[in-house]
């Protein structure tokens, strides 16, 4: 087996590399737009610095790959709202090109990183894979379009709808940082934890090792097809997350509320029965996962 991970220098990709390296060589294609070279330390394989939109490095990356993990993307909902054309180009046209190049190179399977964002604010909970989709941002639209491209691809391609992934090496800085690393960093330096909106919005936070296990499982299980949720199966409010971070770190930082952000979901709750029935299950709950990050720091 030989693996290609697009976006392998990013947060989830870099954890996936470590999991895959025991099985075979890994090629990473990443333009380092949000990923970091230091995330590739110990890579068992080759790093190609380039864009999925650029045919030459993409063909080079796909050559000989048996399994392709397509994680490279513009990943921020707010950024997709301010730059919709860029989001469409990277996430839709980029996915189309990766699927075509993987099929052309004779890869056996591709796994796409999709998102719970495709469900939008449609109120049915918990979300199953047959729940209505209602994408509420260019990012969500682009992920849904990527799933449709997978369904029509010339090689078997599975899409995993990740809920809110967290874990070590997640960047706490920048305007688009996710809640878990932002809260942990704020608690560490003693500044207020900023919640967008009233904090009653709910999320399913899934630990990154459970996500990379799902990616590996989807790639190596030929019976899987279509879309699957990847989540912990338990949702908590963002306010509860902030309180948990303060309790685990023993810090007394204040909790501050800022205006809700455009495109952000109100509630998010996942059914994970479809993927669980195929043999995958999450193994890290939120307090344990937060503790693992604190121990890794």
Ligand X SMILES: NC(=O)c1ccc[n+]([C@@H]2O[C@H](COP(=O)([O-])OP(=O)(O)OC[C@H]3O[C@@H](n4cnc5c(N)ncnc54)[C@H](O)[C@@H]3O)[C@@H](O)[C@H]2O)c1
- Binding residues (CB under 6 A) for ligand X: these are 6-7, 9-13, 29-35, 51-53, 71-73, 75, 90, 94, 113, 115, 162, 164-165
| Cα(275)–Cα(121) distance, integer angstroms | 23
Smallest separation (angstroms) from ligand X to the CB of 233: 16
Smallest separation (angstroms) from ligand X to the CB of 184: 15
Q: For 20-40, b where at least 16 C-beta lie within 10 A, e where not — what string? A: beeeeebbbbbbeebbeeebb
Smallest separation (angstroms) from ligand X to the CB of 252: 28
Q: For 65-102, b where at least 16 C-beta lie within 10 A, e where not — what string? A: bbbbbbbbbbbbbbbbbeebeebbebbbebbbbbbbbb
Smallest separation (angstroms) from ligand X to the CB of 94: 6
With a CB cutoff of 8 Å and minimum separation 6, the contacts of 248 are 287, 290, 291, 294
Q: Which is nearer to ligand X, 212 or 253 (CB)?
A: 212
The tokens describing 273, both together, are: 């029965």
Which has the closest alpha carbon to 10: 174, 170, 177, 230?
170
Q: Which is nearer to ligand X, 125 or 251 (CB)?
A: 125
Write down the H helix ranges in 135-279: 138-151, 179-189, 208-220, 238-249, 273-276
| 176 belongs to the catalytic site | no
Q: Which is nearer to ligand X, 110 or 113 (CB)?
A: 113
β-pair partners for 196: 258
Q: Which is nearer to ligand X, 137 or 164 (CB)?
A: 164
Smallest separation (angstroms) from ligand X to the CB of 136: 14
Q: Return the residue matching tokens 């874990």.
A: 167
Smallest separation (angstroms) from ligand X to the CB of 27: 12
Q: Catalytic residue among 119, 139, 166, 228, which?
A: 139
Q: Which is nearer to ligand X, 171 or 251 (CB)?
A: 171
β-pair partners for 257: 195
With a CB cutoff of 8 Å and minimum separation 6, the contacts of 243 are 255
Q: Which is nearer to ligand X, 115 or 182 (CB)?
A: 115
| Cα(285)–Cα(264) distance, integer angstroms | 24
Write down the H helix ranges in the chain: 11-20, 55-62, 77-82, 84-88, 94-104, 138-151, 179-189, 208-220, 238-249, 273-276, 286-296
Answer for the pair 195, 239: CB distance below 8 angstroms, yes or no: yes
Looking at the annotation, which residues are catalytic?
A: 139
């Amino acid at each position: 087996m030989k693996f290609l991970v697009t976006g392998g220098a990013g947060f989830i990709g870099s954890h996936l590399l470590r999991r895959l390296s025991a099985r075979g060589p890994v090629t990473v294609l990443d333009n380092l737009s949000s990923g970091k070279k230091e995330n590739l330390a110990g890579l068992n394989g080759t790093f190609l610095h380039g864009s999925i939109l650029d045919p030459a490095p993409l063909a080079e990356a796909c050559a000989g790959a048996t399994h392709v993990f397509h994680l490279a993307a513009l990943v921020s909902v707010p950024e997709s709202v301010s730059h919709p054309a860029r989001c469409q180009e990277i996430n839709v046209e980029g996915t189309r090109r990766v699927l075509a190049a993987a099929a052309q190179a004779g890869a056996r399977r591709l796994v796409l990183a999709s998102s719970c964002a495709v469900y939008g604010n449609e109120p049915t909970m918990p979300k199953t894979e047959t729940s209505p989709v209602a994408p509420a941002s260019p990012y969500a639209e682009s992920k849904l379009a990527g799933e449709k491209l997978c369904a029509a691809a010339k090689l078997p391609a599975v899409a995993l709808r990740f809920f809110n992934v967290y874990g070590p090496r997640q960047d706490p800085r920048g305007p688009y940082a996710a809640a878990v690393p932002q809260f942990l960093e704020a608690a560490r330096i003693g500044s207020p934890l900023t919640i967008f909106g009233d904090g009653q919005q709910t999320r399913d936070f899934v630990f990154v090792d459970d996500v990379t296990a799902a990616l590996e499982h989807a790639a190596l299980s030929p019976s899987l097809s279509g879309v699957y949720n990847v989540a912990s199966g338990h949702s908590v409010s963002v306010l509860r997350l902030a309180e948990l971070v303060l309790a685990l770190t023993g810090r007394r930082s204040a909790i501050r509320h800022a205006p809700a952000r455009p495109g952000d979901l109100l509630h998010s709750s996942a059914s994970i029965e479809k993927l669980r029935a195929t043999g995958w299950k999450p193994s890290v709950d939120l307090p344990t996962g937060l503790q693992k990050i604190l121990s890794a720091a």
